[in-house]
């Protein structure tokens, strides 16, 4: 498959639809040097983006948290996504919207005089973890920790927060794993590199409080689905040693959807009934 810079199609960029290979930025864009960038990943099913407006609202909020006001309204972001899906003749797709500080008068840490730019792209993308959706993903345990919200706005979906994710996923893949599980700065179980995590014990579900991690839109959706089914969900702080007590585990995220986990480090989990049921129910919901 061609690289992401060498494909046919179109990308929405700063209010215009441009040819895919022409969607470029200057090497002195502030985001490239200082990670002043926020983004959203979304999935389109049967021509409709799931929870689209919530993603657009979160993009704007992320920009606000990084002192980077995005010069587009929710309605304008929604229109851009619809336009790029239509331009590329897609019905089932992954949609990436990114906003960043571009090149301008500033090239130091400060960037208030530089324009905030935005682009939206869409492409076909299958299961994020491949066949792990059927047999369960294998996770490494990352050596890095998710940072304190006193060090960076952890509620923002910001590019800079993902650098340790990239490093941790590379390490995990070198070990034959699909992903890595983080602890947070206090030592509690946090999340995977791009997905929230859930556990099952005695028919009840446990998931970390999102006080130092992103409160994923898929995470919130799945919690609502579980509670609608009468399943108790505990949002709480989880210690690493508790992993030995859990029977089932899964990951949630726009890219990951609902992916069962079979192993984290030395701990193993079954792809049990609750995991299979919530994965099936989520698939039905996004395609309804």
Which pLDDT tens digit goes with each residue over 109-139? 999 999 999 999 999 988 777 776 678 999 9
Which CATH number is 268's domain given?
Answer: 3.20.10.10
Same domain, 157 and 95: no
Predicted local confidence at residue 195, as pLDDT: 97
Which CATH number is 16's domain given?
Answer: 3.30.470.10
- The stretch 30-55 carries a mean pLDDT of 97
Backbone φ and ψ for 113, nearest 5 degrees, come out as: -90, 0
Predicted local confidence at residue 129, as pLDDT: 78
- Compute how many other C-beta atoms are within 10 angstroms of the C-beta atom of residue 124: 11
The band of 1, judged by pLDDT with boundaries at 50, 70 and 90, is: low
CA dist list (Å): 59 to 69, 100, 158, 174, 279: 10, 11, 9, 32, 26
Residue entry with tokens 């090239």 = 107
Same domain, 260 and 141: yes
Same domain, 113 and 157: no
pLDDT over threshold 80, residue 268: yes
Which domain, by its residues, includes 14?
10-123
At residue 243, the 3 state secondary structure works out as helix
Same domain, 200 and 255: yes
Same domain, 154 and 267: yes
Domain boundary at 96, 123, 150, which?
A: 123
- The stretch 142-167 carries a mean pLDDT of 97
Domain total for the chain?
2
Residue 206: partners with Cβ closer than 8 Å, 6 or more residues away = 198, 199, 200, 233, 234, 236, 238, 246
Residue 3 lies in a domain: no
List residues with catalytic annotation.
157
Same domain, 116 and 249: no
Residue 231: partners with Cβ closer than 8 Å, 6 or more residues away = 203, 204, 205, 274
Burial group, residue 152, by CB count within 10 angstroms (0-12, 13-18, 19+)? middle
């Amino acid at each position: 498959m061609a690289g992401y810079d060498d494909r046919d199609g179109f990308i929405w960029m700063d209010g215009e639809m441009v040819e895919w290979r022409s969607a470029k930025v200057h090497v002195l864009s502030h985001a490239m040097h200082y990670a002043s960038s926020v983004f959203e990943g979304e999935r389109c099913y049967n021509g409709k983006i799931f929870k689209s407006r919530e993603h657009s609202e979160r993009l704007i909020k992320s920009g606000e948290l990084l002192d980077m006001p995005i010069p587009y309204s929710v309605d304008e972001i929604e229109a851009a996504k619809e336009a790029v899906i239509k331009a590329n003749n897609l019905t089932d797709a992954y949609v990436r919207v990114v906003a960043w500080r571009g090149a301008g008068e500033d090239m130091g840490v400060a960037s208030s005089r530089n324009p905030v730019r935005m682009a939206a792209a869409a492409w076909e993308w299958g299961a994020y973890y491949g066949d792990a959706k059927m047999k369960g993903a294998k996770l490494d345990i990352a050596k890095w920790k998710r940072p304190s919200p006193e060090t960076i706005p952890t509620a923002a979906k910001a590019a800079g927060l993902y650098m340790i994710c990239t490093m941790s996923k590379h390490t995990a893949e070198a070990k034959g794993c699909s992903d890595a599980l983080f602890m947070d700065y206090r030592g509690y179980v946090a999340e995977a590199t791009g997905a929230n995590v859930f556990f099952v014990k005695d028919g009840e579900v446990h998931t970390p409080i999102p006080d130092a991690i992103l409160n994923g839109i898929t995470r919130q959706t799945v919690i609502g689905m579980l509670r609608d089914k009468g399943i108790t969900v505990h949002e709480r702080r989880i210690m690493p040693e508790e992993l030995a007590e859990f029977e089932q585990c899964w990951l949630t995220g726009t890219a990951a959807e609902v992916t069962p986990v079979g192993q984290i480090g030395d701990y193993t989990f079954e792809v049990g009934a609750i995991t299979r049921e919530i994965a099936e129910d989520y698939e039905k919901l996004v395609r309804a």
